[in-house]
Amino acid sequence: MIFSDPQFVIWIFIPFAVFCIVDRGIAMPFIFRFVFVVGLSLVYYWYGPGASPTLLTLYVVGNFLMLPAVASSANAKVVLAILNIAALFYVKATFPSGAPLGISFHAFQIVGLLVALVQDPKLPVPAYGYFLFLTFFPQLVAGPIVQWTRVHRFFEHWHDREVRPIRLDWVVLFLGIGLGKKVLVSDSLYAAVATFQRAETAFVGVDSLVFPFLYSIYLYFDFSAYSDIATGIALMIGMRMPINFYSPYKASNPVVFWRRWHRTLYKFLRNDMRFLYHWMRLPPHTPFVAFVFLFSGFWHGAAWGYMLWAIGHFLYFKFYPRALMRRLPLLLRIATNFIIVSLLWLPFALGGEGLLRWANGVSSFLGEIYSGTGQANSQILGRMEFLLTGLGVAIALLAPNGFEMMRSQRLWSVKRALAGTLIVLALYKMFTLAQPPLPFTYFQF
């Protein structure tokens, strides 16, 4: 069950919205509020693709029971954190149909909690906060990765009913942006992406030139949509999710790009994984950067495409010609970075063999254009795919993101109208289409 599934709207979102309204109106006992939110989260998880409730229970409860045993030893906490990472990769390798739903994000949040407890042994971890931290359904299966140091005070305030008033405008804004990205853009590009990924057709003509940017927009809109919707839902109880995407394609270089793309994973790798890495006295600087990219590649899957993607980004990150690029205008640097990042998504999207198919298609098309025999026509992509790709590029490079819009006090009547329109259009498409809802790209990691 995903956020763009009508079943989610009916059985999860509407009950949660009713709960939030009632909770604001009457002083419900905390135990009831806790049981309702955790119970609803587990129901949501249960009906997700690839859900493994038994494994989730063992993982979450098992780590909670281990916390007292490692409380007095920093080394024991580090060992438990490393064992969690090892268990994650073992489980991902053991399940041939894909990793159990949400397993990576459970592991990363637990590892972050253990690292925080090493750095501050007096950090409180009440049972209610721990279970809300790991099961709250907006971020349960695909992030954002929430750090305990950021949210434990919110859970304390929620326990004592001291949360800030809800800004309905913010809720509607993020829900509208997220549903618009997912249902109206990403899902509309899915058929073309899947056709090329399944090698059902060769890369020919202008399709080969457009595909890197089409996939770049498809992936960004799909993944960031989940985070936007999760942010909107969490705001309904006053919880502010960490920013997971901050206009990454506006970055002018790879360093800034990775600070803006999947920011919570970037911070987990930069802070928590570096802490464990240094604890093991491994070499710093360039070896650590290489370790981070290879870790990311292997986390996505033990396949050559992911490894090529990781190595390509490491080389781009490490050997980016900063002095040369600083001489160029900012807009040209942004455009160059966007093109390179889009090309680096290709092994991620197509794998090693697919990358060769794409390269062969591009070389053949350019050769035909050079010889005067080629034609700039499309065999797979239609007008809608070209329109959505162009629109997506314009939005990604020019439009403000949800957090920028939230912080600005200007034009709220326009923002409300835009968000409301996107919600209506997305719901219309969700409830009238006969095809099943398309999963998020990162829904089963």
Contacts of 444 (CB under 8 A, 6+ apart): 49, 50, 98, 99, 100, 101, 141
Tokens of 412: 């709220």
152 with 125: CB under 8 angstroms? yes
Give the span between the Cα atoms of 9 and 89, in whole angstroms: 33
* pLDDT in the model for residue 96: 59
Q: Are 37 and 136 in contact (CB under 8 A)?
A: yes
Question: First CA to last CA across the chain, in angstroms?
Answer: 15
Mean pLDDT, consecutive 10-residue stretches, the chain (445 aa), reads 88 94 86 94 86 85 93 94 91 73 88 95 92 90 86 89 84 96 95 86 83 96 94 93 95 95 93 93 91 90 88 94 91 96 94 88 78 68 91 96 93 94 95 79 67
How far is it, in rounded angstroms, from Cα 136 to Cα 45?
10
207-235 helix and 168-179 helix, angle to the nearest 10 degrees = 150
Query: Which ranges constitute the DSSP H helices of 236-273?
Result: 254-260, 263-267
Question: Cα–Cα distance between 233 and 253 in angstroms, integer?
Answer: 32
Q: Which of 342, 266, 350 is nearest to 308 (CA)?
A: 350
Amino acid symbol at 349: A
340-379: per-residue pLDDT in tens?
999 999 999 998 888 988 988 888 877 777 776 656 667 7
Q: What is the pLDDT of residue 167?
A: 87
How far apart, in Å, are the Cα atoms of 395 and each of 51, 229, 298, 388, 391?
34, 18, 31, 10, 6
Task: Sketch the domain layout of the chain as residue ranges.
Answer: 6-159, 178-432
212 upstream amide cis, omega within 30 of 0: no
Length of the chain: 445
DSSP assigned state of 248:
G
pLDDT tens digits, 83-100: 999 988 888 888 756 677
What CA–CA distance (Å, rounded) separates 140 from 105? 7
Beta carbons within 8 Å of 159's beta carbon, 6+ residues apart: 30, 126, 128, 129
Provide the pLDDT for residue 171: 95
Q: The tokens 């498809």 sit on which residue?
A: 218
297 Cβ neighbours under 8 A, 6+ residues apart: 306, 307, 309, 310, 311
pLDDT of residue 375: 62
Q: What is the pLDDT of residues 40-80, one digit of tens each?
A: 999 998 887 778 888 888 888 999 999 999 999 999 999 99
- Tell me, what's the pLDDT at 439? 78
Give this prediction's pTM. 0.93
